[in-house]
Amino acid sequence: MSSILYMDTQLTWSLLVLTLPTENATARMRFWRALKAKGCAVLRDGIYLLPYTEEREAVLRELAVAIADSGGTAHLLRAPSLDAAQEAEFRALFDRVDEYDGFIRVLSDARKTVAGQSAADLTKLLRRLRKDYEAIVAIDYFPGEAATRAAVAWEDFVAHVDTVLSPGEPHAADRAIRSLSVDDYQGRTWATRRRMWVDRVASAWLIRRFIDRDARFIWLTSPDVCPADALGFDFDGAAFTHVGERVTFEVLVASFGLDKDPALLRLGAMVHALDVGGAPVPEAIGFEAIMAGARERAADDDHLLDEMSRVLDSMYTHFVASEKSSDKGKRS
């Protein structure tokens, strides 16, 4: 029975058997770097291994052609593991524990320097370390406990940098949510912490789209410098911030009577899950990835709000259509 089970689950491997050109040192170095970047394991000199997928094999095929064109030889083969022992042996060649542990040490050293760096330098540091981290993840074909440790360390480091760049992450207030009239909040100045993340950018979008279309925004270096005449949101002591289990977006929705809109409630559930955790929302992972990329690209928070507003407009439209479709299905 065990052999039958093994045959149903065994891996297939792509093998590249090559001889690099001896006369062209530059080409040899380029090919070695390409093989290393792809995470190929070395079975012996000139034999490289990857767990098979169409995409990986296509990359190896292109490399084989390039090697042949440069004067070397390359043959691409595909074969399954002979047995469980061989599969375990091959998998072990892709162990990334050392790479992850090295990256965690780099994060530990970098953490000691965060407080003394400028915002621009910290942004560059985050970009460089993210690139290093993603390079390891990209070639970790069999992630395990080390990958989990590195992911936790990376998330903790990013959160630490965000704390330095954008101090004042709010604590939940214990107070009632008052019902407010949109008419009393027109043409106002709204203020929140700079380097927006999910709750702040969604709240700013909500304010401009549903509450105050002429809103002007100020991005604060610290909550302490919030002007007296500005309406603060998403920091301790702000006019609108976390209340009980609700994040700022949800508080704004409830405050201005927008909670009868099921599409906004679904957006609120997504923001809640990404900001403080909770029930998973299918769209959350994609939104978080877009948000992270937009924050890397945006020159400032004004540009970030403009870009993410288009995304939130689209998501809101999607939720509206989804709710209509659901209602139609219930009636039929």
Question: Concatenated DSSP letters for 234-256?
Answer: SSTT-SB--BTTB-HHHHHHHHT
pLDDT for res 4: 38
pLDDT in tens, 267-298: 999 999 988 888 888 999 899 889 988 988 89
pLDDT for res 115: 80
Q: Report which DSSP code applies to 226.
A: -
By C-alpha distance, which of 108, 105, 110 is closest to 124?
Answer: 110
Global confidence as pTM = 0.57
Q: What domains appear along the chain, each with residue ranges and CATH number?
A: 2-92 (3.30.70.240), 97-165 (no CATH), 182-331 (no CATH)
Q: Are strands 189-193 and 216-220 parallel, antiparallel or unpaired?
A: parallel
By C-alpha distance, which of 274, 191, 197 is closest to 233?
Answer: 191
pLDDT in tens, 319-332: 999 988 777 666 66
Average pLDDT over residues 141-166: 86
What residue type is assigned to position 315 of the chain? M
CA distance 1 to 28: 47
CA distance 105 to 113: 13
pLDDT in tens, 199-242: 999 999 999 999 999 999 999 988 889 999 999 999 988 999 99
Q: Report which DSSP code applies to 143.
A: -
What average pLDDT is seen over the chain? 90
The burial of 213, by beta-carbon neighbours within 10 Å (0-12 exposed, 13-18 middle, 19 or more buried), is given as exposed
Q: In which element (H, E) is residue 42 found?
A: strand 41-44
CA distance 294 to 286: 12
DSSP string, 160-216: HHHHHHS--PPPPB-S------GGGGSS-EEEEESS--HHHHHHHHHIIIII-TT-E
pLDDT in tens, 158-198: 878 877 776 667 888 888 999 999 999 999 999 999 889 99
